[in-house]
Amino acid sequence: MLTEVKTNKELKADPVFGQLSFDDHEQVVFCSDKDTGLKAIIGIHNTTLGPALGGTRMWAYQNEWEALNDVLRLSRGMTYKSAITGLNLGGGKAVIIGDAKTQKTPELMKKFGEYVHSLSGRYITAEDVGMETSDMDLVREVTPYVTGISEEKGGSGNPSPVTAYGVFMGMKAAAKYKFGTDLLEGKQVFVQGIGHVGEALVENLVEEGAIVTIADINQERLEAVKSKYGVTIYGGNDIYSEQMDIYAPCALGATINDDTINKLQAKVIAGAANNQLANEVKHGQLLQEKGIVYAPDFLINAGGIINVYAELEGYNKAEIMRKTENIYNTTLEILNHADVNHMTSNQAALALAQKRIDARKLENNS
């Protein structure tokens, strides 16, 4: 029984539809299970091009508002990611509120899978932050609406190396646009966030001969990656003010914000994190004014969804890599289009994605 009642001042009049991140989402599903401790939110943004596919993130959010904001932003980003990559998929995402290291259990993952199954294929889940391929295997036990399962079970396996390769291709294209060459040898690259994707990106960069500096909140991970690849651990307290050629945000989003944007010394931003711009319009414009080339995140980090889409379409690893490598060409096309049309790179990428969605909507309605 409730013992406390919130006052009117504490309540938000429009907790979902009034969220700034709400962008005409088709469906938002709140999932709760007392026995397993599951508290999750599934966001389906748009299904014009196909079922909404997007990963599940498990994170210890400070509050439910933060979790809701994240799933709304992430699911919207997936719509545009699939559209600009030419995939017949819509945009969706899920978040599970909790610490993946201490609160994730097989029972919780299976219960989450039951909620996914209840949507009858409108949402297809996959791996994201705080998740492993083995978690997707557990979800697969209760629903077919999951991708990124292990290769032993007929899936495409861990998507992180493919995601990293797409980011690497996008970074090289942005370097070509900014520096006149896509060779990264000798370039100072700061990688912020050394998870599965961040580490795989470091491997690509080291092989290319880039001078790599890494940053992460997990000191143990930093030491392991340093030992493996011979890179430098960042020892300062303000990475944004450091002199560098390329800044690669590969952790959580919104690192380009009011506090950081005026400090930035990088000439190019190209990373794996989603929603890197805290405010797409404002911060995209400020980057352009500062002469910093921004490779749109939802374009260059699309390798992961290309990888898992192969499970639905049945194409092989060679085709996965070919499609991912094409991120280079699309990134250059977007950057040149933005320049010619006097718009930011993020606006140009969104416009191209929206054009494909609108064309399909017209086709569906005819």
194 is in an annotated binding site: yes
Give the strands of the sheet with 211-215, arranged side by side. Answer: 232-233, 211-215, 188-192, 246-249, 268-269, 293-294
239 is in an annotated binding site: no
Residues catalogued as catalytic:
93
In sequence order, what E strands does the chain have?
Answer: 27-33, 38-46, 52-53, 56-59, 90-97, 123-124, 188-192, 211-215, 232-233, 246-249, 268-269, 293-294
195 is in an annotated binding site: yes
Sign of the CA dihedral with 262 first, then 263, 268, and 273 last: negative
What's the token pair of residue 22?
A: 């709400």
How far apart CA 85 and CA 31 sit, in angstroms, is 30
Q: Is 100 helix (H, G, I), strand (E, B) or coil?
A: coil
212 is in an annotated binding site: no
25 is in an annotated binding site: no
50 phi/psi in degrees, rounded to 5: 160, -175
Q: Say if residues 54 and 94 touch (Cβ distance below 8 Å).
A: yes
What's the token pair of residue 150?
A: 């292990």
Residues forming the annotated binding site for NAD(+)?
Answer: 193-198
Residues forming the annotated binding site?
Answer: 193-198
